[in-house]
Structure 1
Amino acid sequence: MTYEKAPQHFTAPVSRRLALTLGGGLVGLVLAACSKTETAPASTASAAGASAAPAAQAEPVRGGQLVVAIRAEPAQLNPLVDQGSGAHSVRPALDSLVWDNGDGTHAPWLASSWEVSDDATTYVFHLRKDVHFHDGTPFNAAAVKANFDYVNNPANKSTGSTAKLKPVATVIDEYTVSVKLGTPESSFLTLIAAPYFGILSQQQIEQDPKSLATKLIGTGPFKFDSWVKGQSLTYVRNDDYQWAPAQFHAGAAYLDSVKYVFLPEDQTRYNALTTKEAHVVDYIAPEYAKSVKQSADYQNEEFLLPGVGYSLHFNTRRAPFDKLEVRQALLHGLNREEIVASATFGAYPVQEYLASTTPDFNKELKNKISYDADKANRLLDEAGWGTRDAQGYRSKEGQRLSASIPYADNDQLAQRTLEQVQIDARKLGFEIKLQPVTDLPERLYNGNYGLLGTFQSEATGMQLWRLYGSDNISDGSTVGSNASFLSIPELDALLAKARASGKSPDRARYYAQAQEILPNYAPSVPLYSRARLVAIQKNVHGVAWDKAWPQPYLFDAWIGK
């Protein structure tokens, strides 16, 4: 394998995810222009809260501490700033305004109902009146406004999708708040249903903002207890909790506490399952997936992450990827089926530009990516790379056809994947240099790469805008997540229509068209959707899925004998 050395230095972590007034006299106009609250049929809501475990014992057992082994320790806890690893461990303390059913519909949570304007720019939320924060302060419209004000303040450097939309919140009355977006977004409810927009205490935000990084004060079923850096994050039951989404049980949680332990090594995390040191093990690595699924010793539940899976983005600001023929040559010349099967031990499926579990995935997609080595070689010849050097690599005017791809030096899956990519590219005469680094997230912003592997999981086609929209290109003054730096006016027009569509079928139609044209421009090579496999000890019941940011939801969980 060919590797390229890079400076090894510590840099502050940056999230892999980037993400955002109506006066009283305008309220009537806003409501008149709004559609009715979006709710799911009863059967959908029930399925959304269904247990990840087999049928539970008849009577839940109260008490005990549930230990959950996860891959990554959050860099800090404030979800309004960081959408990275923290989103996997903050949910016990934080509720959201709405619950995502996972099928494009939403159910009430902290908001009892809401209206959406036809142009998807204004959202009016009617809030529950019986909720309070862990610090005893009331949950109301002013508290919700404080959260939106926080992410909308550039000084706070929020990286979330919500911040990208520049939301302006206005208090209509004590329990009604209106949110006006800077740009239309039909997927806004899905974005704010995720744990990275769990509602935080207004008092903490305004009076002790520095504590947001190390302590969570929310309205959730568990209260923040302690964070032992490098080891664990612990929550204890909130005995006053009475406002779970309707598909879950009423009252406080069954568990006394939840403890997340940070085990970044795949084998160590797997060992925590086999030794029963952890009740729940999140992100079972693909090399262990088969044995876990076949074992009678554990329960398991798998969720194919929605959004845009692991993809190789071409830096079109650099040669040779400024040429369409070269990008299309790799798009069609890499045997994605074999690469993915080898790198993931057959555990993950190949994807197109959206994962098949994304509500906006085009199920009738015609322009699918095909493997065609002859076409790839012909494209490279036509682009002027017909000569081969002594090592068999293509060259032009004495310059080898070559590009580097950085990856996190502790990411074993990325390394295996890129090694397979390197092998396939060499068959085409294309040199790919692998570059293990410690500053991978920052590379997206400074463009220091030839190709860049990323994935973004969110249950909406909005991710196509996040990754391929022209207004998400970093320009030196703003940070964007368009890693190809490619502007596609035809695509921008479709994405704008999708985001401004108040009705879900309209949104899906435009996103479907966007998926049809993306292969024509080849901004990236999509590889696989991650299958998030969670293993659960046999005596644990009631683990559900939070589908806004797919992960185990533990409110209904309990430990049996």
Structure 2
Amino acid sequence: MTLRQAPWAPTALAAVVVLALTGCGGAASAQPDEADTFVFATGKDISCLDPHVNGDMPQASLAANYLDSLVSQDKDGKIHPWLAEAWEVSEDGLTYTFTVRDDVYFTDGTKFTAEAVKANLDHMVDPDTQSGTAGGYLKPYESTEVINETTARVTLNRPYAAFLEVLAQPFLGIESPTALKRPQAENCISPVGTGPYKIVDYIPQSKVSLVRNEDYNSAPPFAQHEGPAHIKNLEWLIVPEDSTRYGLLRAGQVDALDLMPSVHFAEAEADKKVQLVLQDRPGNPTNLMLNTTRAPFDDIKVRKAFLHSVYVEAGINSVYFGTVTKAGGPLASTTGFYSPDFENAYLPDPAEADRLLDEAGWTGRDEQGYRTKDGKRLTVVLPYTPAAWPTAHAALVTQIQASAKQRGFDVRIENQDFASSSEKYNNFDYDLRAGYWNTNTADVLRIVFSTEYMKSAGFVPNGSGFSNKEFDRIVNEALATDDPDIRAGLYYRAQQIVSENALQLPLYNQTSQLALRQDRFANLTLEPSLSLPYIYDVTAVNAS
């Protein structure tokens, strides 16, 4: 059985669909029941468990199960109370006054108060935290004043219409202020939250062990029950190799996994014991970013020629077997204010690619068939970390390399470790950069393409190095208004500018692809803000 979760965005193309596939049977009846252990296998390692530090999706996936957020977001994009019971926004949009719950405790015994709000927001923007994601979202943050134990007044330096939306993400989950006072290395291995589970052990590159928070009383509105989680122990295994991870699921050694390998989709869909939970994520799709700060991609004609040179859809179909959806514009289709008008802006067009390269002066050919100009080969370098990507992604990149060669591009894929590629990314020492940015707001356009985000806070979000005054003005105006029609017009123009300037090669929408042993467990869902695995509601199956 395949369960396609409803996306949060009201403009999304997908809907809730349960596909009764050939060979699939219904799950056994599920009754809320305490089970001893739920084993979840993920494909990517987590260098630091604290999602405030750096900020990658594996951190957020785990954090969704031991941290609560100030506010929650539903599948339609609406914001609801969570740890914050209520809030007021000043007329100028610069002040948010939160009233927080007075009956919640962190799992280290610290009481959750307005002081925790201040400690967390300050921690996220502290340069020492190196918070590329949470800190990046909070660039408008100025300060927090603790009015009393249950009231925190947050001041921004400019209007920020996406503020509540980003606060709903696990990246900005609330941690114990007591724990945050520890050295970062210590907090990285044992962050403390108010959530349904608490971390009890972490073996890097192996597993994270969590145990149920027996005093949990702060379930979000999107949860299916209240009180402690149904499952007592949660084992979060790190299994990078795709076939090994899937093999553990088939053998019953793990109960669920993410990054479901595309080569095994058909087999899983036909297995009565397995349920697939699928959902495209909002934000900036998986892409190859073009570095405009140096040759050859400082020439827009060369950038456009590159985009017209490659066969993305054919490559996706051959390595992902229809398990991901092609992206063509700067926003995933599940993102608010997404427009489909830019999906087909750069279809494969060898003749147009040749024309543009000729106009750009790359008219020569060397003995290997690569384009040349003034005796120099048309070379583009892609620093690449295979461990950070699914096997299918690496295969897709190789296919892009081959198709670009036909037009005369020498795409050099330089495999290296994460630290080496990060250093190059932070110094614009590349021509192509593989990436994506999952977030629940169209403000991702500002984060990924505006001048403001060309500096590193642990990571440089604007990997293209694009700097455009009109674009910067538009995306900031979109944050200064709550009028959806005005925001729609502004974000349309922002998408248009990105597309016209050929800043990235969109590949496919990021997606949550989970597989669950439905003969043993049920109710594995996705939290709505980023479509991440949510274990709190999982129940043991009473086979009948």
TM-score by length of structure 2 reads: 0.88
The separation in 2 between residues aligned to 1:106 and 1:128, in whole angstroms, is: 17
Give 1:131's match in structure 2, choosing from 81, 104, 115. 104
Which residue of structure 1 lines up, in the alignment, with residue 231 of structure 2? 255
Could you tell me which amino acid in structure 2 is paired with residue 554 of structure 1?
A: I
**Structure 2 CA distance for partners of 1:314 and 1:338, relative to 1, 3 Å:** same
Which residue of structure 2 lines up, in the alignment, with residue 59 of structure 1? 31
- Residue 167 of structure 1, CA deviation: 4.2
8 Å contact 1:307–1:355 — kept in the other structure? yes
Output aligned runs, 1:228-377, within 5 Å. 228-248=203-223, 249-351=225-327, 352-363=329-340, 368-377=345-354
**Is 461-470 or 364-373 further displaced after alignment?**
364-373
Aligned to 2:34, what secondary structure does the other structure show? coil
Could you tell me which amino acid in structure 1 is paired with residue 358 of structure 2?
A: D
The separation in 1 between residues aligned to 2:87 and 2:356, in whole angstroms, is: 52
Which residue of structure 2 lines up, in the alignment, with residue 34 of structure 1? none
Which residue of structure 2 lines up, in the alignment, with residue 18 of structure 1? none
Which residue of structure 2 lines up, in the alignment, with residue 3 of structure 1? none
Over residues 179-219 of structure 1, what are the superposed CA-to-partner deviations in whole Å (9 max), with x where a residue is unaligned? 22234322222222121211111222236665311212211
Give 1:549's match in structure 2, choosing from 508, 530, 534. 530
The separation in 1 between residues aligned to 2:478 and 2:316, in whole angstroms, is: 31
The answer on 1:518 being equivalent to 2:498 is yes
8 Å contact 2:31–2:540 — kept in the other structure? no
Over residues 135-155 of structure 1, what are the superposed CA-to-partner deviations in whole Å (9 max), with x where a residue is unaligned? 222111011111112122223
**Structure 2 CA distance for partners of 1:262 and 1:459, relative to 1, 3 Å:** same
8 Å contact 1:217–1:223 — kept in the other structure? yes
Could you tell me which amino acid in structure 1 is paired with residue 445 of structure 2?
A: L
Which residue of structure 2 lines up, in the alignment, with residue 185 of structure 1? 160
- Residue 505 of structure 1, CA deviation: 4.2
- Residue 334 of structure 1, CA deviation: 1.8
Which residue of structure 2 lines up, in the alignment, with residue 5 of structure 1? none
The separation in 1 between residues aligned to 2:204 and 2:379, in whole angstroms, is: 41
Cα RMSD (Å): 2.6
Output aligned runs, 1:89-100, within 5 Å. 89-100=62-73
Aligned residues, how many? 514
The answer on 1:461 being equivalent to 2:428 is no
The separation in 2 between residues aligned to 1:514 and 1:459, in whole angstroms, is: 17
Output aligned runs, 1:432-511, within 5 Å. 432-438=411-417, 439-474=420-455, 480-511=460-491
The separation in 1 between residues aligned to 2:453 and 2:221, in whole angstroms, is: 37
Could you tell me which amino acid in structure 2 is paired with residue 198 of structure 1?
A: G
8 Å contact 2:291–2:430 — kept in the other structure? yes
Over residues 31-78 of structure 1, what are the superposed CA-to-partner deviations in whole Å (9 max), with x where a residue is unaligned? xxxxxxxxx9xxxxxx99x9xx97884631123211100112311222
Could you tell me which amino acid in structure 2 is paired with residue 127 of structure 1?
A: V
Could you tell me which amino acid in structure 2 is paired with residue 534 of structure 1?
A: L
Could you tell me which amino acid in structure 2 is paired with residue 511 of structure 1?
A: Y
**Structure 2 CA distance for partners of 1:403 and 1:366, relative to 1, 3 Å:** closer
The answer on 1:403 being equivalent to 2:383 is no
Aligned to 1:89, what secondary structure does the other structure show? helix
8 Å contact 2:144–2:154 — kept in the other structure? yes
The separation in 1 between residues aligned to 2:317 and 2:90, in whole angstroms, is: 45
Output aligned runs, 1:77-92, within 5 Å. 77-84=49-56, 85-92=58-65
The separation in 2 between residues aligned to 1:165 and 1:545, in whole angstroms, is: 29
**Is 533-542 or 408-417 further displaced after alignment?**
408-417
The separation in 1 between residues aligned to 2:475 and 2:275, in whole angstroms, is: 40
Which residue of structure 1 lines up, in the alignment, with residue 356 of structure 2? 379
**Structure 2 CA distance for partners of 1:504 and 1:110, relative to 1, 3 Å:** farther
Over residues 264-285 of structure 1, what are the superposed CA-to-partner deviations in whole Å (9 max), with x where a residue is unaligned? 1111111111101111111102
Aligned to 1:64, what secondary structure does the other structure show? strand
The separation in 2 between residues aligned to 1:54 and 1:549, in whole angstroms, is: 28
The separation in 2 between residues aligned to 1:486 and 1:284, in whole angstroms, is: 34
Over residues 211-246 of structure 1, what are the superposed CA-to-partner deviations in whole Å (9 max), with x where a residue is unaligned? 311212211111222113332111111121122123
The separation in 2 between residues aligned to 1:277 and 1:265, in whole angstroms, is: 15
**Is 476-485 or 128-137 further displaced after alignment?**
476-485
Q: List gaps (5 residues or longer) in structure 1.
A: 1-39, 41-46
- Residue 259 of structure 1, CA deviation: 0.9
8 Å contact 1:118–1:501 — kept in the other structure? no
Aligned to 2:164, what secondary structure does the other structure show? helix
The separation in 1 between residues aligned to 2:239 and 2:270, in whole angstroms, is: 23
**Structure 2 CA distance for partners of 1:254 and 1:445, relative to 1, 3 Å:** same
- Residue 345 of structure 1, CA deviation: 2.7
The separation in 1 between residues aligned to 2:261 and 2:443, in whole angstroms, is: 28
The separation in 2 between residues aligned to 1:365 and 1:116, in whole angstroms, is: 35
Give 1:103's match in structure 2, choosing from 64, 76, 80. 76
Could you tell me which amino acid in structure 2 is paired with residue 76 of structure 1?
A: C
Which residue of structure 2 lines up, in the alignment, with residue 71 of structure 1? 43
Aligned to 1:338, what secondary structure does the other structure show? helix
8 Å contact 2:478–2:490 — kept in the other structure? yes
Which residue of structure 1 lines up, in the alignment, with residue 21 of structure 2? none
Which residue of structure 2 lines up, in the alignment, with residue 390 of structure 1? 367
The answer on 1:112 being equivalent to 2:85 is yes
The answer on 1:532 being equivalent to 2:504 is no
Could you tell me which amino acid in structure 1 is paired with residue 125 of structure 2?
A: N
8 Å contact 2:30–2:522 — kept in the other structure? no
Over residues 430-485 of structure 1, what are the superposed CA-to-partner deviations in whole Å (9 max), with x where a residue is unaligned? 211111111222221011111111111112112111111111113x8996311111
Could you tell me which amino acid in structure 2 is paired with residue 399 of structure 1?
A: K
Could you tell me which amino acid in structure 1 is paired with residue 397 of structure 2?
A: L
8 Å contact 2:207–2:238 — kept in the other structure? yes
8 Å contact 1:140–1:174 — kept in the other structure? yes
Aligned to 1:455, what secondary structure does the other structure show? strand
The answer on 1:205 being equivalent to 2:180 is yes
Could you tell me which amino acid in structure 2 is paired with residue 82 of structure 1?
A: N
Could you tell me which amino acid in structure 2 is paired with residue 108 of structure 1?
A: P
Which residue of structure 1 lines up, in the alignment, with residue 400 of structure 2? 421
The separation in 2 between residues aligned to 1:138 and 1:55, in whole angstroms, is: 41
Aligned to 1:93, what secondary structure does the other structure show? coil
TM-score by length of structure 1 reads: 0.86
The separation in 1 between residues aligned to 2:154 and 2:211, in whole angstroms, is: 33
**Structure 2 CA distance for partners of 1:145 and 1:354, relative to 1, 3 Å:** same
**Structure 2 CA distance for partners of 1:359 and 1:293, relative to 1, 3 Å:** farther
8 Å contact 2:127–2:457 — kept in the other structure? no
The separation in 1 between residues aligned to 2:185 and 2:372, in whole angstroms, is: 54
The separation in 2 between residues aligned to 1:542 and 1:417, in whole angstroms, is: 33
Could you tell me which amino acid in structure 2 is paired with residue 428 of structure 1?
A: R
The separation in 2 between residues aligned to 1:260 and 1:83, in whole angstroms, is: 18
Q: List gaps (5 residues or longer) in structure 2.
A: 1-7, 9-14, 19-24
**Structure 2 CA distance for partners of 1:256 and 1:478, relative to 1, 3 Å:** closer
8 Å contact 2:450–2:467 — kept in the other structure? yes
The separation in 2 between residues aligned to 1:252 and 1:272, in whole angstroms, is: 28
